[in-house]
Chain A
Amino acid sequence: MKKISIIAFCLALSYVSVAQEAPKLYTLPSPFERYSHYLATVRITGAVPLGSFSSSYIDKTSFENYSISMEWVTRSAVSVGGEVGYSYFQKRLPRNTYQNGDQTISAVQTRTLTQYPVQVFANYHFLGKNSTIQPYVQLSGGVSILDYTVYYGILSDQKQKVSPTYGVGVGSKFLFRRDGSFGADVRVKYAGTSFKYDYLQNGAASLNTSVGIFYRWW
């Protein structure tokens, strides 16, 4: 009887000691803080034309803008990555006459600007990799494959060019779960592309507000 009670008591003790050890597993930092990892984001953007782009060409906000980015998140506050996007602005004007020397053209004008920006970026994060909210500032630069097309009826005047583009933005990541892999990203960015042709004499600038979903892995 005594033997059994001693064994039972020892078992009970060992159980208690195991229970006390278990919490230690959760005090290890998350792998996302210990390792540098990848982060991919898919975004949809609302873009508002600014400056002379808006006053002399298209002033209509566009919601047809998408992008995908791949980020290399290091253990420091800085992360770098690349982003490829698609952006489309369009405005149709009612029938009007346009003078070209001694020639008069009467047409319904459809103005479009399509861009495929290919950029690299650097983010500076203000909080740790595992905080639920991670605000950051962003600088980006690269080239934009640009297609400027003005339609007069169904006749078109088109110019395509690979132009330099840059961006300055501020945003924040939101983790869905503590130490999770998925999250949301909201970003407001000023984007400018240099381009000079026809109606666009001072480049195309826009204010882009985007919402995205990201997935991170290591």
Chain B
Amino acid sequence: MMLNRTFIWIAAVATTLFSCTKDPLAGLSDPDSQVFITNRDAQANYKQYKTFSVVDSVQVIEDDYSTSDLTSLDQDMLIRIVTNMEKLGYKYVPAGSKPDIGINLARVTNTSINVVSQPVSSYWGYGGGYGYGYPSYYQYYQTSESFWSLSMLDLKNPDTVTKNLKVVWNAQIRGAGLGNEEYVDQMVDSVFGQSAYLKIN
């Protein structure tokens, strides 16, 4: 009798203790949560490029489809990219003046709905083509990740055989607060700041 009661007590205490897990990201501010990832083409010789241009609208990529957009946030991003490139020694020219480098900016959103599609096994006698019918009131949960993607395209040496423009540099900005206009300057400055190899002056 005593033993059963004590075991219940121990189980209760243990459950309480083990439910007190800490959130490792508690107190992480939006700027601190941002991750700046830059990829360089090790074969590229950046000193050969003198002029650059930027897109006049931002590519919005959501799962499988893409459109163009130009919000004030997008404009702020593009202006800051131009400032950083000029500081590195590149000359800005309009897109029609055959620039050496073209810079693309995209807002990418990957959304996945976490519901598993299962085929019905023939155990129930309904095999072959039957699927589960989820009532409309079932709750699905969506996870969605958005990030900025900057790509530097080599327009000076296009690959006419494969019809590819080489991406000589790529940057991704991930984390929270990506749509906040206050963070535009520090986000763009950071990705160029960690890419000192781009400097030609």
Contacts and interface: CB of A to CB of B under 8 A. Distances in A.
A151 B25 contact: yes
Contacts of A70: 10
B53 to A, nearest CB: 25
Interface residues of A, number: 32
B113 interface: no
A97 B36 CA distance: 9
Nearest to B170: A103
Contact of A106 (B3, B18, B33, B35): B35
B25 A154 contact: yes
Interface string B9-43: 01001100110111011001000111111111110
B194 A97 contact: yes
Interface in B143-172: none
Interface string B165-190: 00000000011100000000000001
Nearest to A42: B13
A121 B33 CA distance: 42
B115 interface: no
B6 A107 contact: no
A104 B21 contact: no
A146 to B, nearest CB: 14
Nearest to B18: A86
B24 A95 contact: no
B13 A68 contact: yes
A91 to B, nearest CB: 10
Given A103-B38, A106-B194, A38 B18 contact: no
B38 A153 contact: no
A102 interface: yes
B45 interface: no
B21 A114 contact: yes
A130 to B, nearest CB: 20
A102 B32 CA distance: 23
Contact of A103 (B13, B34, B39, B176): B39
9 contacts: A95-B32, A103-B37, A103-B40, A104-B195, A105-B37, A106-B36, A106-B190, A110-B25, A114-B21
Given A90-B24, A153-B28, A153-B174, 11 more contacts: A68-B17, A95-B32, A97-B194, A104-B40, A106-B37, A108-B33, A110-B24, A151-B25, A153-B175, A154-B176, A155-B175
Interface of B: 2-3, 6, 10, 13-14, 17-18, 20-22, 24-25, 28, 32-42, 174-176, 190, 194-195
Closest 7 pairs between A and B when the two form their complex, measured CB to CB: A153-B35, A106-B36, A107-B35, A108-B32, A66-B17, A153-B175, A153-B33
Interface of A: 38, 40, 42, 64, 66, 68, 70, 84, 86, 88, 90, 95, 97, 102-108, 110, 112, 114, 116, 149, 151-155, 215, 217
